[in-house]
Structure 1
């Protein structure tokens, strides 16, 4: 295992902050800038799409097509990075809070999830980009029907 440069760690942390914020703000253009031209995606553990490789624009379009009315808040913690053969491998825990805009604090007008993400990062256009995303879902709770991606997987 090669030593990791502190500036690379800061760059990857910033990249993940921008990536998750793009989900929350539905900023699809910003999301695409975080991704390599082709990205491997594996969300199978959460009952969503099966593993596949797709273009960054297809990934963003799939997120766009799953539009719902939920207010979202993505956060991540415990970021661990390792360098191997010119790329970086990352792992972090996640918590995704999702609330229906009509949430009153009562009932199940929310759908939350937690788990871990595994990422691969490569250099492109002079910056680190996400080349692979694997979600390892741990637990979800609340009203599953509010989450557009989950509804499609069950259909």
Structure 2
């Protein structure tokens, strides 16, 4: 394994910061700018969509279609990056806090999750892009029905 240049580490960390912030702010153009043309997605551990390769625009459209009224806060920690022949591999822990701004039903007004993400990164036109996202869900708690992606998978 070859050492990763510190400037590349900083640039990849920045891509992840922008990617997660795009979820929170529903900034779909910013989210798509973080993604490679083709992206492998695996959210199976959280009971959502099975592993699949799609283009970046389709990934973003799926996030948009998971309509909800949740205020979200994504954070990540313990980012480890390694330079491998097929590209840079990344792993980080995550915590996603979700609160329903318009909740009027019974039960909790939140749905939170934590776990780890595994990423692959590659360069396109000189910029680091996310080419693979695998979520390793550890635990979720709260009102599952608030989460648009979960409702789509269950319903």
Matches within 5 A, 1:140-151: 140-151=140-151
Alpha-carbon distance between aligned partners in 1 of 2:3 and 2:98, rounded to the nearest angstrom = 37
Residue 3 in 1 paired to residue 3 in 2? Answer: yes
1:72-115 Cα deviation digits (max 9, x unpaired): 00000000000012610000000000001046xxx510000000
- Structure 2 residue runs of 5 or longer lacking an equivalent are none
Alpha-carbon distance between aligned partners in 2 of 1:13 and 1:55, rounded to the nearest angstrom = 22
SS at structure 2 position matched to 1:4 = coil
Question: What is the aligned length?
Answer: 153
Residue 108 in 1 paired to residue 108 in 2? Answer: yes
- Structure 1 residue runs of 5 or longer lacking an equivalent are none
Matches within 5 A, 1:43-62: 43-62=43-62
Matches within 5 A, 1:1-150: 1-85=1-85, 87-102=87-102, 108-150=108-150
Alpha-carbon distance between aligned partners in 2 of 1:62 and 1:125, rounded to the nearest angstrom = 25
Task: Check the 8 A contact 2:69/2:102 in 1, yes or no.
Answer: no
SS at structure 2 position matched to 1:67 = coil
1:53-84 Cα deviation digits (max 9, x unpaired): 00000000000000200000000000000001
Alpha-carbon distance between aligned partners in 1 of 2:62 and 2:34, rounded to the nearest angstrom = 15
1:145 shift after superposition: 0.4
Alpha-carbon distance between aligned partners in 2 of 1:101 and 1:16, rounded to the nearest angstrom = 26
